[in-house]
Structure 1
């Protein structure tokens, strides 16, 4: 059970603007074979999506603090993510799993008042798909 809690926290932190590596934790737990892979995928995806929901809420309610030292996204990151969002709309959230740009995209979705239900659906597909691909690759390499 501690393994699942650690995976959840790593996935949650990795989805916020805090640097963390949930992928390494997931791969290690898959290779240990102590938990079913489907359960690991579920825990990682839920943690990662909830972290992204925190970003959305920060964008929706706390963006006025952007530029302050403690705010987790730089103005440059926000501007870059806003450009992506302006070009691709809500479909840009399919890139929410991409390092560096993905987390600011979820923040900008809140700033631009992306409906939360659609946000959750697209981000869950993107982040769950990334973890599923990682599990598939891990199993292939371990075989």
Structure 2
């Protein structure tokens, strides 16, 4: 497994070195990392921008769009999981605090989708609760865009 991971990192770094592939690689990694798969996209964005500083804003926008799309996929996964659960069990866990909190604050909770560890499952829970899709995507986009601007700027500052 470790050899495979090292190989994938090497391929990703090679892809980022090519300007025509770099933004595509950022998009794919950002999309995948926003699903429930454990992958971080910030290092990929930082590597590309460090190698090609003129791509700062394009990389940020591409990463934010890819990550938001991944969050939307997680929303739909949660929506489908809830439907399957309801079909099998016929009751919902209304007494859980987290679900109550999500219901109370609604789509605005997707602003927190940028958080590590809890952000991606939060998008899936928003779908599970059937929070309105487009407002959730809007708030996901704001949170994810802000994260990429801050993380990439701080990373570039530290690499100076």
User: Structure 1, unaligned stretches of length 5 or more?
Assistant: 67-78
- The 4+ residue runs of structure 1 with deviation greater than 2 A are 61-66, 79-84, 86-91, 138-143
The TM-score with structure 1 as length reference comes to 0.81
Q: How many residues align?
A: 131
The TM-score with structure 2 as length reference comes to 0.73
Judge conservation of contact 2:103–2:129 (CA < 8 Å) in 1. Answer: no
Judge conservation of contact 1:11–1:44 (CA < 8 Å) in 2. Answer: yes
2:126 is matched with 109
More helix by share: 2
2:111 is matched with 94
- RMSD between aligned residues: 2.0
**1:27 to 2:40 alignment:** no
Q: Tell me how far apart the structure 1 counterparts of residues 103 and 130 of structure 2 sit (CA, whole Å).
A: 13
Tell which structure's C-alpha radius of gyration is larger. Answer: 2
User: Structure 2, unaligned stretches of length 5 or more?
Assistant: 1-19, 86-95
1:135 is matched with 152
Partner SS for 1:99: coil
- 1:38-77 equivalences in 2 (<5 Å): 38-65=57-84
